[in-house]
Amino acid sequence: MNSLVAAYPSWRRVLEILPPNVVVVDDEGVICHVAESVAELTRHTSEELRGLDVRSWAPTWHLDARDVTSDARKVLATRLLDRHAIDLKDRDAQRRAVDAFFLPLALEGKAWIVAAMFDGEALRHESAREVREREVESRLHAAGVVAELEERFRHAFDDNMAPMMMTDLDDCILAVNNAFCQMIGWTREELMGRDSTSFTYPEDLGISEVTHHRLTSEEVSQARYTKRYLHKDGRVVIVEISKSTARDVRGNKLYFVISERDVTEERMLSAQLSHQALHDPLTGLANRAVFEDRLSLAHARVRRLGGLGAVLLIDLDDFKGVNDMHGHLVGDQLLKDIAERLEQETRSSDTLCRFGGDEFLYLAEGLNSSDEAEFLALRLLEVLAKPMTIAATQLEVHASIGVVIWDGDTVDHSEIVRNADSAMYEAKRRGKGHHVVFTPSLQQQAVSRFALTQELRHALSVGQLTMHYQPILDLATLKVVGFEALMRWQHPERGAVPPNVFITLAEQSSLILELGILALRESVTAASQWTPADPHAAPPFVTVNLSSRQFRDPELVPSIVASLMESGLDPERLVIEITESTTLLDIAETLSVIEQLNRLGIGIALDDFGTGYSSLSYLTLLRPKIIKIDQSFVSPPHPNVQNDTLLETIVSLGQKLNMTVLAEGIETEPQLQRLRELGCHLGQGYLFTPAVPQEEALRLVGQTMATEKKASSFSKK
């Protein structure tokens, strides 16, 4: 092969077009190619001349490629096609005049000068010369065009954004471009002459082989495939490859042109996106979509293979409290830790997912008996009940679990989740930290819950809801100093529906807002009528319970103001009862509402104190006027020393913080005695009386209440 072509392949096609008698000189003035016929003019061989400085052979050579060819386009514009007479030195240093036609070229990123040379003597005849000149001229011109094309192609290849490679029919690399080198971290020199196996991901070697075989043996001339490379630094690069066969005019295969696209990031991103679509970003657990898919698969399997499946709906008890008390970061970490704990308990055949918020779903397959599902529920409850430490805070979290066990006969799998929900609801109702297995009667309850809501709506509109008032006594004097307003629903067929039932129902819809307004208006109006016989005695206050939902209602404060105005009640006589869970929803919002109420002169009572999370910190934040000690401390089912100490602590805490302490649910004389000893200010309970209608309340205003007889009759109820 021509040595010029060997070093610079682009020269191949240019030389084919140039006139035969040419000399090629590079940008350093070195002779790179001499036609044998030209060498013979000076009685040299081309071998002897190659590598020489051109001026040592052609002393009058006047062109320097560097001067004229810095830019390929400029070169063509200033192409020197004129004939020049120059001298060449022959073997004996004799000068010999020749005619030369010059063509500067840019090829392979270098500048060159081509000179076509003729024996001056041979062009004696004017006409012969003209013919000769025109032929040379057109050949040089064509070569210039081809060189430009070659150069453009080389640029297009070298500087192409797409990684490209050319290989011979054995897949050995002939050329690679810059983008390719960059993509896999190897230099052009390192890659030349190799095949791609050295940087192909081992598992993907087969892919290359198969396509190579198809391209060489079959009549396809293009193949597209994806494979992985190993970057020099060891990371994996995923590439989309388009490999095509270059052929000559007769259709013979010459080499392969391979264009590639680095799709690593794209693939990673789409993998990430599909992971995101299927997973909960916080805990990394599968999400609802995955769960539903797995459930329908599991369902189909159970139908085919028999056995039982179970769905456990795990709902954390009072997670909101943790979240708002300790901040979202702690809340999030808690969810992550819980997810981790649950995951450790998840068998490989089962699926755990986060169902949203603080709900998790566990799908168990291949169970032999319903006992297995219950054991599983118990184990999960046990695992969750272990205290956790997050950001130096010790948290104790419990959960309620609704369990649904199903077999191949169960048809509707969305019903499975609904039933798990009913069972979970029942578990919560039974007092948290429990599990309940779904039974059809629970479904009945779910249905009746719905019916009851409808009836409650009706009750509200026809005035079946009324307020009763439970006296609050000064424990030192046993005088009635206030009343707690409690709502009553006298259902025409069902009888009295407990507020725990209908308030909870109402809280699940905006019905609670209407109920709340009713309670406020009625209580405030009732209180405005409570006037003690003794004109020096202070008229009693009324405490009204508020649901958390009402606290977020922008109409709350305006509607309280309106009720106060209508009734003329002194705002100082109104106390709003809130529970810790109300305040936990959004502490900033709660505080701002409380501040508005305080400014109006309305006090706050913190209800059910002692049952929440953070009793102490809340006290200092909310600064309630009254602390209501929860009944579970006042009349514990199994009195013990520990409980008594707690009671004592709460009372003295209230005293220290200058808050009025009120004991709820006093049922027995000894409980009353103990509270008096501790110095608890106020109390209410069946020992004195349950809530009574307004007519009765009016009678009790300013009264001193007897206890002894009633103690036994009420506590038996």
Give residues in contact with ligand C2E (CB under 6 A).
Answer: 470, 485-487, 498-500, 503, 519, 545-547, 607-608, 631, 664-667, 684-686, 690-691
| Cα–Cα distance measured from residue 288 to residue 280, given in angstroms and rounded to the nearest whole number | 9
Distance between CA atoms of 646 and 656, rounded to whole angstroms? 15
Report, in Å, the least distance between residue 715 CB and ligand C2E: 8
Nearer to ligand C2E, 158 or 514 (CB): 514
Out of 608, 644, 648, 669, point to the residue binding Ca ion (CB under 5 A): 608
Task: Say whether residue 470 binds Ca ion (CB under 5 A).
Answer: no
Q: Is 423 or 485 the residue whose CB approaches ligand C2E more closely?
A: 485
Q: Which stretch binds Ca ion (CB under 5 A): 65-73, 279-287, 662-670, 678-686?
A: 662-670
Q: Which is nearer to Ca ion, 365 or 607 (CB)?
A: 607
What's the CA gap between 310 and 308, in Å, rounded?
Answer: 7
Q: Which does 546 bind (CB under 5 to 8 A by kind): ligand C2E, Ca ion, none?
A: ligand C2E
Query: By C-beta, is 48 or 669 nearer to ligand C2E?
Result: 669
Using CA atoms of 326, 332, 334, 339 in order, give the dihedral in degrees to the nearest 10: 170
Q: How far is the CB of 687 from ligand C2E (least distance, A)?
A: 6
- Helical (H) or strand (E) element with 377: helix 370-385
Contact at 8 Å (CB) between 559 and 499?
A: no
Cα 94 to its chain centre, rounded Å, is 86
Query: CB 630 → Ca ion: shortest distance, Å?
Result: 6
**Placement of tokens 């072509």 in the chain:** 5
Q: Which does residue 590 touch among ligand C2E, Ca ion, none (CB within 5 to 8 A, set by kind)?
A: none
- Contact between 169 and 253 (Cβ < 8 Å): yes
Least gap, CB of 322 to ligand C2E (angstroms): 21
Residue 665's closest CA among 680, 639, 685, 692?
685
Out of Ca ion, ligand C2E, none, which partner does residue 470 contact, by CB within 5 to 8 A per kind? ligand C2E
CB of 516 to ligand C2E, least distance (A): 6
Instruction: Please report how close the Cβ of residue 555 comes to ligand C2E at its closest, in angstroms.
Output: 15
Residue 488 touches Ca ion, criterion: CB under 5 A: no
**Distance separating alpha carbons of residues 477 and 702, to the nearest angstrom:** 11
Minimum CB–partner distance for residue 702 and ligand C2E (Å): 21
Which span (263-271, 493-501, 552-560, 599-607) binds Ca ion, by CB under 5 A?
599-607
Report the residue number, 61 or 688, with the smaller CB distance to ligand C2E: 688
Report how far residue 595's alpha carbon sits from residue 537's, in angstroms, rounded to the nearest whole number: 29
Which lies closer to ligand C2E via its Cβ, residue 337 or residue 608? Answer: 608
Name the DSSP class of 97. Answer: E
Task: Rule CB under 5 A: say whether 563 interacts with Ca ion.
Answer: no
The count of C-alpha atoms lying within 13 angstroms of the C-alpha of 410, restricted to the half-sphere facing its C-beta, is: 25
Distance between CA atoms of residues 59 and 53, nearest Å: 10
- Measure Cα distances from 328 to 334, 399, 585, 674 in Å: 9, 19, 12, 41
**DSSP-derived secondary structure letter, 494:** T
Q: Which is nearer to Ca ion, 87 or 608 (CB)?
A: 608
Is residue 615 close enough to count as binding Ca ion by CB under 5 A? no
CB nearer to ligand C2E: give 237 or 622. 622
Map 137-181 to HEC letters.
HHHHHHHHHHHHHHHHHHHHHHCCCCCEEEECCCCEEEEECHHHH
**Cα–Cα nearest to 219, from 251, 187, 197:** 251
Nearer to ligand C2E, 485 or 511 (CB): 485
User: What is the smallest separation between the CB atom of 286 and ligand C2E, expressed in angstroms?
Assistant: 38
Pick the closer one to ligand C2E by CB: 395 or 544.
544
Nearer to ligand C2E (CB atom), residue 133 or residue 608: 608
Residue number, 482 or 499, with CB nearest to ligand C2E: 499
DSSP 237: E
> Please, what is the minimum distance in Å from the beta carbon of residue 263 to ligand C2E?
59
Sign of the CA dihedral with 658 first, then 663, 669, and 670 last = negative
Residues 456/432, Cβ–Cβ less than 8 Å? no
Q: Which long-range contacts (CB under 8 A, 24 or more apart) does 197-200 make?
A: 199/229, 199/230, 199/231, 199/232, 200/227, 200/228, 200/229, 200/230
Point out which span in 232-240, 399-407, 429-437, 538-546 binds Ca ion (CB under 5 A).
538-546
Tell me the closest approach of the beta carbon of residue 498 to ligand C2E, in angstroms: 5
> Residue 148 or 577: which CB sits closer to Ca ion?
577
Work out how close the CB of 636 gets to ligand C2E at its nearest, in angstroms, rounded to a whole number.
12
- Under the criterion CB under 5 A, does residue 550 sit at the interface with Ca ion? no
Residue 86 binds which entry of ligand C2E, Ca ion, none, CB below 5-8 Å type-dependent: none
Greatest CA separation found in the chain? 151
Shortest distance, position 565 Cβ to ligand C2E, whole Å: 21
In degrees and rounded to multiples of 5, residue 388 shows phi and psi of -125, 150
Cα–Cα distance, 412 to 1 (Å, whole number): 78
CB of 385 to Ca ion, least distance (A): 26
> Residues 342-361, buried b or exposed e (16+ Cβ, 10 A)?
beeebeeebbbbbbeebbbb
Find the shortest distance in angstroms from Cβ 676 to Ca ion.
20
Site for Ca ion in 420-439 (CB under 5 A): none
Stated as kind and residue range, the H or E segment containing 242 is: strand 236-247
Q: Judged by CB under 5 A, which of 324, 577, 580, 667 binds Ca ion?
A: 577
We find the least distance from the C-beta atom of residue 478 to ligand C2E, in angstroms, to be: 15
Tokens describing residue 27: 């940008």
List all residues 6 or more positions away from 228 whose beta carbon is below 8 Å from its beta carbon: 200, 201, 203, 204, 236, 237, 238, 239
Query: Which range, of 72-80, 102-110, 319-327, 661-669, touches Ca ion by CB under 5 A?
Result: 661-669
| Residue 690 touching Ca ion (CB under 5 A) | no
Cα–Cα distance measured from residue 536 to residue 223, given in angstroms and rounded to the nearest whole number: 102
Question: For residues 290 and 518, which CB has a smaller minimum distance to ligand C2E in the complex?
Answer: 518
Distance CA 538, CA 573 (A): 10
Site for Ca ion contains 545 (CB under 5 A): yes
Could you tell which of Ca ion, ligand C2E, none binds residue 51, using a CB distance below 5 to 8 A set by kind? none
Parallel, antiparallel, or unpaired: how do β-strands 173-176 and 83-89 relate?
A: unpaired
148 binding Ca ion? (CB under 5 A): no
Indicate whether 580 belongs to the interface with Ca ion (CB under 5 A). no
Q: Which residues contact 341 (CB under 8 A, 6 or more apart)?
A: 383, 384, 386
Q: Which range touches Ca ion (CB under 5 A), out of 74-82, 252-260, 569-577, 645-653?
A: 569-577
Binding partner selected for residue 307 from ligand C2E, Ca ion, none, CB under the kind-specific 5 to 8 Å limit: none
Kindly tell me which of 352 and 503 has the beta carbon lying closer to ligand C2E. Answer: 503
In the list Ca ion, ligand C2E, none, the entry touching 503 (Cβ below 5 to 8 angstroms by class) is: ligand C2E
Residue 498: name its binding partner from Ca ion, ligand C2E, none (Cβ under 5 to 8 Å by kind): ligand C2E
Q: 579 or 694, CB closer to Ca ion?
A: 579
DSSP state of 130: H
Using CB under 5 A, list all residues that contact Ca ion: 545, 577, 607-608, 664
